[in-house]
Structure 1
Amino acid sequence: MTPTSHFAPVPHRLSSGSPLGSTPVICVVALAGVPAFVRNTFGDGVLQRANEAALLDIEAIEDQDCFIPQLTMTTFAEAVAKQAGEEFFGLKVAPALSIANYGCWGQYILGAVTLGEALQRAVATVGFHSKGDVFSVVVADELVRVSYGSAAKGQPGYRHVACGSAGVVLSICKLFLPEHWRPLRIELDIPKPKRPQDFEDIFQCPVAFDAQAVSICLESHRLASGPARCTPRALITPEDLARSRVECLTLTGLQDIIVQQIWSQVLSGHVSIESAARSINTSVRTLQRELHREGTDFRSISNAMRTKRACELLRQTDASITEIATALGYSDSAHFARAFRHATGMAPQEYRLLGATANNGHARSDVEDQPSHP
């Protein structure tokens, strides 16, 4: 394995002068298992208030291949820390995080034959997990430095992301190495805390601070190690990733970002322009103005996303019209039926019946494909 790094875009954070379309996003599976950890450790109240701060029910969508602005992730983590009185919440949750819970991307990485191949898979496909993050591997002499640079760096709450990132990268190594293995050291790109020993106790190795990126350092011969457990490998290809998730490099405009945010909201059951605006660190008025410049508006996008999801649920589930209306955040089934008829030209039940008789859903409305990202 030769020295290699920077297969993904250089991380960047949104400043006051940045175009809204440059907002960094991340797949919500980065928070998989975190809501349950918060509930079990700190209680339902802390989880509820963190969701309220993020303006999104993370637990409702944590297993979906959808994307959220990284600001939503840091806001959620910082809210947990404040509500629980746990300054380094990210350190506390780090041992519970695993690449195995990262959906199809995690399965693709863990389908590798060796640790070296797994890390190269992560480097080459990080764009299916986030926009703006960097996954890199550098080999020098007998040392390997596996680094993760997050676009969330600089945001309030980033210290939690740094610790969590270390936990996830460490989990990749542990799934290929003996149980007794420990890193040579871990480097974190956060200021040295008052109690650095707490970090070494959690990670069970030396920890350095004020680094350029989050890094796990290990011996180079470890790259040849195969999976630590004899489990069937998932046969996942980059093409499978492309079918399951949008390639984040294609999210180049504000509308692209908002489509992803609204789709996450639709899956969680509550659509809000206030939530969308806050997630990209802007005001509702500015968001509306910028969308108008791109020839669209929040209502049109949200209606299209709701209709797309409704079509999926009508075709692929036996849920009642009332259940679907509730899942999509409508006040009642009549409101949902009116909105659906306006978008597709037919009633929900009519669409379902027509789809059942038309081979493999040929009765789909054109609106399902607009926008096409999710």
Structure 2
Amino acid sequence: MSHWEVARAAIGVRHLLAAAREHGIETSDALAGTGLDAGRPLDEVTGWQELAVARNLARALPDTTGLGVALGRRLHLVSYGAAGLAALACSTPRNALQLARYFPDRLAVLSRTELEEVGQRSALRFDAGRIPADVRRMLLERDVIAVTTALREIVGGPLTGLTIDLEFGRDAAHDDLVDALQTTPTYDASATRLLMDDAFLDTPTPQADPDALVEAMIDVAQHLDRRPPRSNVAGAVVAHLERSPGPPRLEQVAAALHTAPRTLRRQLAAEGTSFRALADEVRRARADALLAEGRLSVEQIGVELGYADAAAFSHAFRRWTGLSPSQFRRSASAR
């Protein structure tokens, strides 16, 4: 399943909407173009819907400096329900980080994370390459603060031997960021990551409880089991589309997946999606990133995405976002 399509707990969206209300932004404006209804419970959303809410919020504000810090401060292990309880009950911080890999959709983290070995230390790397530039810093700050807060709550105290590298520069929210992280980060690094001593990661946690861990994991698994059944077909389609330039073609993707077009349509329908919806998802992500980057013209981006002309691309982009590509680019460049 695509990183953006996977159904996730609506924790992140709820906090984004709370921030919008605090800044005088109507909930309906924050949800514009997402398909989410303010009058209905927000139980689960997709990653791209959460991203769209973040972008709506960023566009509505004159300045987003410090917003990622404010969002990160809202997040604690209690925010994640049974998944948070499972993390608290783990025997070591390393086990808690590994557990999070199995339930990423239960967390309010849009960056992809990976735990790597670096000599006698371990690095939790945050990959935000697919998050558009206009909200990348905001969401990276939120994600890093959320993880460091969770680690402090798991160990029941300060994080010893922790080094934080951030891929962006220092800004006016530096003091608030240091206070939230409880350490001074290194700015303008080649990657965003938390560097931790292996001894810290393998330290027994004060609230370790194997029975509580099992019960919490059962609760999370039962919630996942109540969803409509899904297979790996949509994820395979998205992966192929992300690797393939030019216009998306059902017949080509079906051939690459060694199946018939009709069979592929039926499999996607059983998962509650369609080839067009997945193609739009991939195209939208590419369009957002290319427009925010500013290197190519609208016409060139249309060609890059396989549209017949700029008008066809503009029509599709307005259908996705409610904005023209030029309006979006002006908004992104103003950040």
Q: TM-score range by the shorter chain?
A: 0.5 to 0.7
- Residues 74 and 160 in structure 1, CA contact (< 8 A), matched pair in contact too: no
**Which of 273, 281, 284 does residue 281 from structure 1 map onto?**
284
Superposed displacement of residue 239, structure 1: 5.2
Task: Summarize the Cα distance change of 1:196–1:86 in structure 2 as closer, same or farther, 3 Å threshold.
Answer: closer
Letter in 1 for 2:165: E
What is the CA–CA distance in structure 2 between the aligned matches of 1:159 and 1:217, rounded to whole Å?
19
Give the TM-score, by structure 2 length. Answer: 0.57
Q: Secondary structure at the match of 2:32?
A: helix
Per-residue Cα deviation, 1:189-216 (whole angstroms, up to 9, x for no partner): 4x31443624324322122344455322
Structure 1 residues 228, 59: closer, same or farther in 2, change over 3 A? farther
1:25 is paired with a residue whose SS is: coil
Task: Tell me if the contact between 1:104 and 1:244 (Cα under 8 Å) persists in the aligned partners.
Answer: no
SS of structure 1 residue aligned to 2:115: strand
Alignment partner of 2:116 out of 102, 126, 138: 138
C-alpha contact 2:124 2:195 (8 A) present in aligned 1: yes
The equivalent of 1:34 in structure 2 is: 15
**What letter corresponds to residue 122 of structure 1 in structure 2?**
A
Is the CA contact (8 Å cut-off) linking 1:29 and 1:103 kept in structure 2? no
Long gaps (5+) in structure 1: 1-20, 263-272, 287-374
Give RMSD over aligned pairs.
4.4
**Within-5 A mapping of 1:146-161:** 146-150=124-128, 152-161=130-139
- Compared with structure 1, are the counterparts of its residues 109 and 170 closer, same or farther at alpha carbon in structure 2 (3 Å cutoff)? same
- Matched residues in 2 for 1:107 and 1:247: separation? 26
> Is the partner of 2:154 in helix, strand or coil?
coil
Higher deviation after alignment, 178-187 or 229-238: 229-238
Matched, 1:197 2:178: no
* Aligned-partner SS, 2:51: helix
| Contact kept in structure 2, 1:183 and 1:205, CA below 8 Å | no
1:190-229 aligned at under 5 Å gives the runs 191-195=168-172, 197-198=174-175, 199-211=177-189, 213-228=191-206
**Equivalent residue of 1:145, what SS?**
strand
The answer to whether the Cα contact below 8 Å between 1:46 and 1:80 also exists between their aligned partners in 2 is: no
Aligned with 1:156: secondary structure?
Answer: helix
Equivalent residue, structure 1, for 2:225: 243
1:82–1:128 Cα change, 3 Å? closer
Task: Answer yes or no: is the 8 Å Cα contact 1:100–1:110 preserved in 2.
Answer: no
Aligned residue in 1 for 2:321: none
Letter in 1 for 2:137: R
Letter in 1 for 2:52: T
CA distance in 2, matches of 1:133, 1:36: 19
Could you list the per-position Cα deviations for residues 202-243 of structure 1 after superposition, in whole angstroms to 9, with x for gaps in the alignment? 322122344455322233222234445588835215854652
- How far the C-alpha of 1:51 sits from its partner, in A, is 1.4
Following superposition, the deviation at residue 96 of structure 1 comes to: 1.0
TM-score scaled by length of structure 1: 0.52
Identity of aligned residues (%): 13
Displacement of 1:102 in angstroms is: 3.1
Tell whether the 8 Å contact from 2:114 to 2:124 is kept in structure 1 after alignment.
Answer: yes
1:233 matches 2:190: no
Cα offset, 1:94, TM superposition: 0.7
Supply the distance in 1 between the matched residues of 2:171 and 2:145 (Cα, whole angstroms).
21
Once residues 272 and 93 of structure 2 are traced to their aligned partners in structure 1, the CA distance between those partners, rounded to angstroms, is: 32
Q: Which has the greater radius of gyration?
A: 1
> Which one of 31, 35, 44 corresponds to residue 51 of structure 1?
31
- Residues 129 and 174 (structure 1), Cα distance of their counterparts in 2 relative to 1, 3 Å cut: closer
Matches within 5 A, 1:175-194: 175-181=153-159, 184-189=162-167, 191-194=168-171
Identify if the C-alpha distance between structure 1 residues 178 and 171 changes in structure 2 by more than 3 Å, giving closer, same or farther.
same
Letter in 1 for 2:139: V
Q: For residue 117 of structure 1, report the CA deviation from its aligned partner.
A: 1.0
Please point out which of 61, 69, 79 is paired with 1:91: 69
Structure-2 separation of matches of 1:280 and 1:100:
36
**How many equivalent residue pairs?**
248
Q: Does 1:24 align with 2:16?
A: no
Unaligned runs of 5+ in 2: 239-264, 288-304, 306-335
2:152 is matched with which residue: 154, 174, 183?
Answer: 174
Deviation at residue 50 of structure 1 after TM alignment: 1.2
Q: 1:122 aligns with which of 93, 100, 109?
A: 100
Deviation at 1:87, TM superposition (A): 1.4
Secondary structure of the residue aligned to 1:166 is helix
Cα distance change, pair 278–194 in 1 and its aligned pair in 2 (3 A): same
Residue 39 to residue 22, structure 1, CA distance change in 2 (3 Å): closer
Alpha-carbon separation, structure 1, partners of 2:110 and 2:74: 25
Residues of 2 paired with 1:226 and 1:91: CA distance? Answer: 29
Instruction: Tell me the CA shift for residue 166 of structure 1.
Output: 0.8
Q: Which moved more, 1:157-166 or 1:21-30?
A: 21-30
Q: Distance in 1 between matches of 2:269 and 2:153?
A: 33
| 1:77 and 2:77 matched | no
